[in-house]
């Protein structure tokens, strides 16, 4: 049975002296918490371009689960409904990441940046990154992007969006690659990616891996682990891997599998295999205790965010602002050497893991506890 609270475990005095920028005091326990959301709407100029491209808001949970064969008209619905979510989700994670001064300095000293986006779709998370860099890191003069997706219509829209705002500093290489399954993904990634660049400063994959499990859970089991095994050899010494996915689930053989739990389980399996070339840097608890994680089957990192969508509603045709909720599960990785540098001098800390209306739990020394 999981223990309730952690005050009676003898750690209260030890924890009470910890202090970090992102922390919130509860009684005599100080814990690292997720930062507040700062952004809920798309930049005005991007929203206007989506309007010109015919984006409309129409939420269809069943339809969005597989976008590889979407037509140009169906992608307009995606642009108006789910593209803004991806943009805001990634903006939040980037802000969280760059709260670390060491990583701020890395980006400030870059003149060139190399980005790999796997399963990029229409480019919501990629556009989010480019707008973020343009606002905060103007010293970056050239950005080289390799963008991979299986839907050519989505890639065409992505190219239109990126070239509309960032053609002055980006070199975009689109790769239309369809992956049949996990083994096909591994083979094609190892063949195609080295043909572009040897290494990347930022590797991203957003809401992509779940599609493999939906297609064939048994054949594609281990996909998150395979993703790490491939990308660990592709990042620079001070590079990062940003992995995020939806918080939905699938049913297989009378069992329910949540993608956020699968991600955590397979990341833990990756480290149990003895491979420590990369290490999680967010959430912080995974950095400190991933090698002794005791609750991988019950743990996940999740954040719920507000998204303001100001696009035509498909049922009325009128433009109105609609606030919707979105949830994302994520982990961020760096090389072991860079991760150790980021956390140098930082004491072990208790870390919020999942944050929503129903659950708010803490991880300490690789084990989950309910808050007191």
**Residue ranges covered by each domain of the chain:** 36-370
Residue 69 confidence (pLDDT) above 90? no
Q: How far is CA 196 from CA 45, 163, 177, in A?
A: 31, 20, 14
Q: How confident is the model at residue 316 (pLDDT cuts 50, 70, 90)?
A: low
Q: How many CA atoms lie less than 13 Å away from 332 in the CB half-sphere?
A: 24
CATH number given to 36-370: 3.40.50.150
SS3 128: helix
Residue 28 confidence (pLDDT) above 50? no
Residue 101 confidence (pLDDT) above 70? yes
Query: What are the pLDDT digits (tens) for 323-355?
Result: 899 999 999 999 999 999 999 988 887 776 665
């Amino acid at each position: 049975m999981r223990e309730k609270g952690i005050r009676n475990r003898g750690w209260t005095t030890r924890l009470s002296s910890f202090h970090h920028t992102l922390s919130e005091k509860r009684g005599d326990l100080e814990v690292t918490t997720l930062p507040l959301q700062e952004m809920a709407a798309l930049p005005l100029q991007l929203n206007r371009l989506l309007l010109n491209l015919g984006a409309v808001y129409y939420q269809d949970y069943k339809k969005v689960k597989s976008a590889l064969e979407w037509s140009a008209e169906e992608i307009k619905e995606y642009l108006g409904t789910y593209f803004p979510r991806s943009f805001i989700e990634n903006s939040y994670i980037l802000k969280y990441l760059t709260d670390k001064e060491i990583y701020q300095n890395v980006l400030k000293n870059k003149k060139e940046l190399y980005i790999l986006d796997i399963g990029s779709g229409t480019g919501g998370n990629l556009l989010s990154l480019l707008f973020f860099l343009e606002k905060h890191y103007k010293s970056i003069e050239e950005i080289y992007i390799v963008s991979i997706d299986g839907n050519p219509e989505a890639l065409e829209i992505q190219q239109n969006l990126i070239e509309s705002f960032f053609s002055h500093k980006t070199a975009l290489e689109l790769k239309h690659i369809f992956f049949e399954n996990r083994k096909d993904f591994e083979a094609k990634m190892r063949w195609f990616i080295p043909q572009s660049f040897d290494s990347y400063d930022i590797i991203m994959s957003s809401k992509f891996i779940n599609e493999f499990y939906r297609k064939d859970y048994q054949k594609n089991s281990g996909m998150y682990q395979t993703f790490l095994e491939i990308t660990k050899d592709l990042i620079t010494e001070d590079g990062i891997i940003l992995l995020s996915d939806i918080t939905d689930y699938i049913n297989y053989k009378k069992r329910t599998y949540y993608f956020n739990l699968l991600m955590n389980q397979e990341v833990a399996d990756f480290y149990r295999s003895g491979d420590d070339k990369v290490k999680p840097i967010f959430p912080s608890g995974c950095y400190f205790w991933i090698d002794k994680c005791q609750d991988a089957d019950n743990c996940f990192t999740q954040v719920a965010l507000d998204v303001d969508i100001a696009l035509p509603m498909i049922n009325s045709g009128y433009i109105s602002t609609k606030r919707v909720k979105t949830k994302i599960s994520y982990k961020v990785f760096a090389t072991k050497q860079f991760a150790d540098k980021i956390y140098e001098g930082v004491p072990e800390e208790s870390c919020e893991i999942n944050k929503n209306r129903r659950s708010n739990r803490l991880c300490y020394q690789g084990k989950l506890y309910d808050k007191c």
